[in-house]
């Protein structure tokens, strides 16, 4: 069964931060919280690459594995969501996450962080009726329930950021690579597979 | 002689203590996710239907494929 996935094509990302703005606007994310951000490697050097990063909705999510209150759940097709009513803001998920996705809205004395906030793949959270006022306030808009895909990917001007059924996303990317006539130049490829692959 | 032996033993003990600090555990602790204890999300039922999946796939084809 296919799972919902994000893929950022580093050959296409122009570091416009449109995805970040779209996400913040769509979900009215507060100051200091970035569910999505654009990371640029070797900025200013010829050959620099940018990728858009958020929660990658891991198949075997480490955040869910370390959560002491078991507030994470995964939808039928792999979207990792959490319940803010259960979250105690301990920050374990932040340490476990390889992408730095979990965000905390407060910075106070004695390490008070507030409830964790992260990308929901625009699928809201467990707050009664879909797209209710309470759900929007707590988790943001539920576009998946409306039959739409994440705003960041739908707003991407260069279609660098893809989101949806993992098999279909892979097909789109594979087709692009074939047209470019070469091996996939996705970020990290050479590090992972060396030059002779 | 006794002083020399004591010095040797002392330095060996010191080396052992210092070397112990250089050790690094290579075992990885693997945690299994627990059972979700929060409220029920109505999206889960809707999201599991074939119609909804088809709708999202159509949306992907419409908006994100290369033209």
Whether ipTM exceeds 0.85: no
Contact A172 B65 (CB under 8 A): yes
For residue A118, CA distances in Å to A12, A27, B15 come to 25, 11, 48
Dist CA A153 CA A90 (whole Å): 30
Q: Which of B59, B61, B67 to mutate to test the interface with A (most CBs of A within 10 A)?
A: B59
The residue-averaged pLDDT of B37-47 equals 89
pLDDT above 90 for A1: no
For residue B37, CA distances in Å to A22, A126, A136, B30, B58 come to 32, 11, 21, 21, 33
Closest CA to A183 of A194, B31, B22: A194
- A79 to chain B: which residues are within 8 Å by CB? 47
The residue-averaged pLDDT of A11-25 equals 95
pLDDT above 60 for A185: no
Contact A81 B63 (CB under 8 A): no
State both tokens at B23: 């050790």
pLDDT above 90 for B48: no
Q: A4-193 — its CATH code?
A: 3.30.70.20
Name every residue whose Cβ is closer than 8 Å to that of residue A144 and which is 6 or more positions away in sequence: A79, A121, A122, A123, A124, B43, B47, B56
pTM for this model (two decimals) = 0.81
Contact B33 A126 (CB under 8 A): no
pLDDT tens profile A74-103: 998 899 999 999 999 999 999 999 999 999
Dist CA B15 CA B29 (whole Å): 29
Name every residue whose Cβ is closer than 8 Å to that of residue A64 and which is 6 or more positions away in sequence: A70, A72, A73, A74, A80, B33, B34
Which pLDDT score, from 0 to 100, does residue A71 have?
A: 95
Q: Which of A19, A63, A145 to mutate to test the interface with B (most CBs of B within 10 A)?
A: A145
Dist CA A86 CA A95 (whole Å): 19
**C-beta of residue A85 within 8 angstroms of C-beta of residue B39:** yes
**C-beta of residue A154 within 8 angstroms of C-beta of residue A146:** no
Which pLDDT score, from 0 to 100, does residue A188 have?
A: 61
* B44 closest CB neighbour out of A76, A149, A163: A76
Contact A83 B66 (CB under 8 A): no
pLDDT above 70 for A132: yes
> Does A120 lie at the interface with B, CB-CB under 8 angstroms?
no
Residues 9-28 of B with CB under 8 A from A: none
Q: How many CB atoms lie within 10 A of CB B41?
A: 25
- CA A152-A55-A37 angle, 5° bins: 55
pLDDT tens profile B6-26: 999 999 999 988 888 777 777
Which pLDDT score, from 0 to 100, does residue A196 have?
A: 56
Residue ranges per structural domain of chain A: 4-193
Write down the number of H helices and E strands in chain A.
7, 6
State both tokens at B47: 């999201």
> Does B64 lie at the interface with A, CB-CB under 8 angstroms?
yes
pLDDT above 90 for A121: yes
Which pLDDT score, from 0 to 100, does residue A193 have?
A: 61
Band (pLDDT 50/70/90 cuts) for residue A195 is low
């Amino acid at each position: 069964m296919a799972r919902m996935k994000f893929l950022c094509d580093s050959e296409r990302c122009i570091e416009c931060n449109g995805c970040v703005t779209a996400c913040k606007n769509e979900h009215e994310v507060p100051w200091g919280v970035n569910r999505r951000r654009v990371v640029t490697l070797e900025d200013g050097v010829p050959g620099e690459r940018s990728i858009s990063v958020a929660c990658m909705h891991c198949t075997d999510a480490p955040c869910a594995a370390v959560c002491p209150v078991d507030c994470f759940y995964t939808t039928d097709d792999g979207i990792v969501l959490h319940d803010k009513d259960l979250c105690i803001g301990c920050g374990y998920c932040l340490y476990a996450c390889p992408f730095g996705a979990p965000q905390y809205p407060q910075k106070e004395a004695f390490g008070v962080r507030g409830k964790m906030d992260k990308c929901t793949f625009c699928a809201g959270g467990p707050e009664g009726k879909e797209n209710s006022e309470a759900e929007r306030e707590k988790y943001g808009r539920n576009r998946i329930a409306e039959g739409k895909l994440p705003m960041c990917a739908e707003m991407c001007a260069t279609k660098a950021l893809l989101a949806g059924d993992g098999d279909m996303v892979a097909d789109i990317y594979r087709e692009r690579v074939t047209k470019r006539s070469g091996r996939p130049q996705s970020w990290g490829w050479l590090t992972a597979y060396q030059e002779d692959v | 002689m006794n002083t020399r032996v004591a010095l040797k033993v002392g330095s060996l003990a010191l080396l052992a203590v210092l070397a112990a600090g250089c050790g690094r555990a290579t075992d990885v602790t693997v945690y299994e996710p627990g059972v979700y204890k929060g409220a029920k999300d109505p999206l889960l039922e809707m999201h599991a239907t074939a119609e909804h999946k088809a709708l999202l796939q159509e949306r992907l084809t419409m908006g994100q494929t290369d033209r």
